[in-house]
Amino acid sequence: MKDYKLLIDGKLVAGASTLDVVNPATEEVLGLCPRADLTQLNQAVAAAKRAFPAWSAKTTAERGEVLNRLADALEARHAEFARLLTEEQGKPLDFAMFEVSIALGMLRYFAGRDTPTKVLREDDNVRIVQHHTPLGVVAAIMPWNFPMIMLCSKIAPAISVGNTVVCKPAPTTPLTAMLFGELCVGLVPDGVINIIGDANDLGAALTGHPDVAKVSFTGSTATGKKVMQSAAGSLKRLTLELGGNDAAIVLENSDTKEVAAKVFAGATLNSGQICMAVKRVYVHESQYDAMCEELGRLAEAAVVGDGLEQGTQLGPIQNKAQYDKVLGYIEEARQKGKIVAGGESNDRKGYFVRPTIVRDMPEDSRLVQEEQFGPVLPVLKYADLNDAIARANATTYGLAGTVWGNDLKHAYEVAQQIDSGTIWVNQHLDLPYDIPMGGAKESGVGVEMGEDGLAEFTQAKVINIAKHGLAATVA
Which candidate, 351, 377, 109, 167, places its Cα nearest to that of 268?
377
* Residue in 87, 88, 241, 442 annotated catalytic: 241
Q: What phi and psi, each to the nearest 5 degrees, are found at residue 427?
A: -165, 170
Report the alpha-carbon distance of residue 99 to residue 96 in Å, rounded.
5
- 15, 3 in Cβ contact below 8 A? no
Cβ atoms within 10 A of the Cβ of 355, count?
26
Q: Is 210 exposed, middle or buried (0-12, 13-18, 19+ CB in 10 A)?
A: exposed
Comparing C-alpha atoms, which of 89, 36, 13 is closest to residue 81?
Answer: 89
3-state helix, strand, coil in the chain (%, to 5): 40, 25, 35
* Cβ contact 286:252 at 8 Å: yes
Q: How many residues does the chain have?
A: 475
Tell me how many degrees the CA angle 374-379-385 measures, rounded to the nearest 5.
130
Q: Compute φ and ψ for 196, nearest 5 degrees.
A: -125, 155
Question: Cα–Cα distance between 159 and 283 in angstroms, integer?
Answer: 45
- Respond yes or no: is residue 241 known to be catalytic: yes
Spot the catalytic one: 167, 275, 292, 294.
Answer: 275
3-state secondary structure of 281: strand
Q: From CA 244, how far away is CA 298, in angstroms rounded?
A: 24
The Cα 135–Cα 56 span in angstroms is: 9
Residue 204 CA: distances (Å) to CA of 41, 367, 457: 11, 30, 20
Asked about 122 being catalytic, the answer comes back as: no
Residues with a catalytic annotation lie at 241, 275
